[in-house]
Structure 1
Amino acid sequence: MRPAHALAGVACLALAAFAYAQSTPSAAPDNAPVQTAPLEQAPPTWGDPKAGQTKAAVCAGCHGVDGNAMLQNAPRIAGMPERYIAEQLELFKTGQRTSGLAGVMMPFASMLSPQDMRDVGAWFAAQTPGAGVADDTLITSGPNKGLKFYQVGERLFRGGDASRGIPACMACHGPAGDGNPGPAYPALHGQDATYVARRLEEYRAGTTTYKNPAHFQLMAAVSKSLTDEEIRSLASYVQGLHAR
């Protein structure tokens, strides 16, 4: 027969293990709601693209009916992860994203509930993204002489530059620029080059903000070592990427 103190020790260990299991946090699933609603409101659910189509009608003026913007410097949002779109709308609504055309976006975003944001995101996520054309002009001078212009960006997108601490863009955004819906990394394929270049310049200058500081810090760290030519070339390369 085991001594009483040994049995008590086993019981304590079992109780501790149970308590630990109950208190250990688990990872949020990819379709976890964006937690932006006040406590007195019901949290948003996975978005409804049909409802989102109606709510997104006002977006067509700049972003296009299907999210494939025709205006220069207006981002293409067709095929973007739902969570990414919902998160950005919340940042505009709360004034946490202030750079670029935030002043244009804020009035529209301010009218949306968290569920509206999910629905709008679901509509655009279901659309087929278009693609632009990359600049294949031959570089005739400088350190990248002999390369086509987009190839400078392609090299960084696919391989990064370890000597400067620049990771490959595709590590987060995917080999074809499809983005990642889990951590809400945006899709890049076919994105307007002017818009991409402006965003990279804002990150490099530290003039853009995000509610999730990890996203901002990551992009700021990546962008700070990029030259003007590399930024423009990266922007051109992703503009020419086609969705899989």
Structure 2
Amino acid sequence: MSDARVLASLIEEIPGAELVRGDGDAVVEHVEHDSRRIEAGALFVAVPGFNVDGHAFLTDALEAGAAAVVVERGRRGTWRHLPGDQPIVAVDDTRAALAQAAAALHGHPGRDLTVIGITGTDGKTTTAYLLTSILEAAGVRVGRLGTVDAYVPGADIGSHTARMTTPEAPEVQRLLRAMVDAGCEYAIVEATSHGLALHRLDEVAFDVAVLTNLTGDHLDFHESFEAYREAKGRLFSALDRTPIRP
């Protein structure tokens, strides 16, 4: 369960975030990118999607009780005349901000785990299950976040909709927090090319990266094999950003 945070404190952990309306005293209890799931205390992050733009639902989110909204500076026309007086936070990239805000709200749980990221065209789930079995046989408490399921030993983690890809950043961080709260030492995370390219895994704090293989796939999204390979490579680049553990 995440701790509530005062908005002003939370946005200090989002690089380049600027409070452009309202004050920072609002209390944020959860981070959400889907306006249909907004409840009181939510920080709604307006993410441009493939078919719809979250900025089109800012008014809906505020009317549903959002404590504040996060918008992109480059889409000023969508938010400068919003009704009400709830705080508006402007950033350069709301997808990146979604991951940063979710990780901050949950206390950066990945930093309290040894996180093994697995990427590749095929074999991610098999490798994740094998590693889970090996670590558990060694007496290590381990959680797993995959494309078909999520596993936290002894915990009721609620619903995790399998979509054959990485869930959005708020769900990733919620599950990592559940692993920490359940006493896990390790987390095994399947890192899809979509999840890496769309910043869903930006704040996971990977310690180990595994590549199973690389063949042409998902080119409808990445458009070229080079872009697909670059997306997979983001997992290895992420290792450089993980804080050194004492």
TM-score bracket relative to the smaller structure = under 0.3
Bigger relative contact order, structure 1 or 2 (CA pairs below 8 A, ≥6 apart)? 1
More helix by share: 1
Give the TM-score of the pair, scaled to structure 2: 0.27
Bigger CA radius of gyration? 1
